[in-house]
Amino acid sequence: MTLTPLTSDLLEPVRHGFFTRQGGASSGVFQGLNCGNGSSDQADIVRINRARVADAMGVDPEALHTVQQVHSDRVAVIEPGSAPVEADAMVTAAPGIALGILTADCMPILFADPDAGVVAATHAGWKGALAGVIANTIDAMERLGADRTRINAAIGPSISQANYEVGPEMLDDFAMDEPDAPRFFAQGQGDRLHFDLPGYGLHALRQAGVGGAEWIRHCTYHDANRFFSYRRATHAREADYGRLISVIRVD
């Protein structure tokens, strides 16, 4: 099956894609394009899936870089031959390198300043977003020659507010550092709340002063045919779950 990644007009003409689960070689709970090395899927199958993504992005598999994601605010600068490190964002100005972020409900955010030839990819769950990984990504892009007023950013498929139920302690965590926190939480049943992760991501991007930002408005939890979801797998008591990949490159 041909891979059909989702794209954002904001990032054009930079080559990028928010890949769905469709078109991969995995089976079972990983059915489709599971690109997560950290999953319990067969390693050789994951390599096949990642090779298909690399081919779709026009790079060799070795040029598709990912990091060991740990829900941090750390950003790695990627050059040819860079080894995997613990971080949750990557930036590069090196032609022919593709940056890949893995998600299964958290926000994959792709950034581009086409004039400077600088791109970035960020994994932002609530912990990383609150810690400042989005602002740190933009700062790192500027150190490579980008201008934040020229940077456009797109948030890919993520869990929507309607499907992201959390406890009141999460609002407390946000309220300590974020005065606008309450507007990203809606009341649920009992003491449960619903957190607007993409809304908070857009807020952080705009606060950082990027030229343009959007969420492409696809919910990972809602659409099981196209997306993996950690929370949906947990609710279904599945043993594991697949990881989506979102990729951007410098031509």
DSSP H helices in 63-209: 126-131, 133-143, 168-177, 197-207
Q: What is the pLDDT of residues 141-177, one digit of tens each?
A: 999 999 999 999 999 999 999 999 999 999 999 988 8
Give the containing element (helix H, strand E) for 231: helix 230-235
Token digits of residue 52 = 């298909």
Q: What is the reported pLDDT for 180?
A: 85
Contact 121, 133 (CB under 8 A): no
Closest by CA to 89, choosing from 62, 105, 70, 63, is 70
End-to-end Cα distance, the chain: 25
Q: What is the reported pLDDT for 25?
A: 96
Q: What is the reported pLDDT for 99?
A: 98
**Cα separation, 109 vs 249, whole angstroms:** 13
Query: DSSP letter at 84?
Result: P
* Average pLDDT value for residue range 130-140: 97
Q: What is the reported pLDDT for 2?
A: 79
pTM: 0.97
Q: What is the pLDDT of residues 89-126, one digit of tens each?
A: 999 999 999 999 999 999 999 999 999 999 999 999 99
Q: What is the pLDDT of residues 21-42, one digit of tens each?
A: 999 999 999 999 999 998 999 9
Neighbouring-strand partners of residue 234: none
Q: In terms of DSSP bridges, do strands 152-155 and 212-215 run parallel, antiparallel, or are they unpaired?
A: parallel
Q: What is the reported pLDDT for 21?
A: 97
The CATH number given to 9-160+196-249 is: 3.60.140.10
Across the chain, what does the average pLDDT equal? Answer: 96
Contact 154, 213 (CB under 8 A): yes
Q: What is the reported pLDDT for 177?
A: 84
Q: What is the reported pLDDT for 179?
A: 85
* Chain centroid to CA 215: 11
* Average pLDDT value for residue range 222-226: 96
> Is the pLDDT reported for residue 1 higher than 80?
no
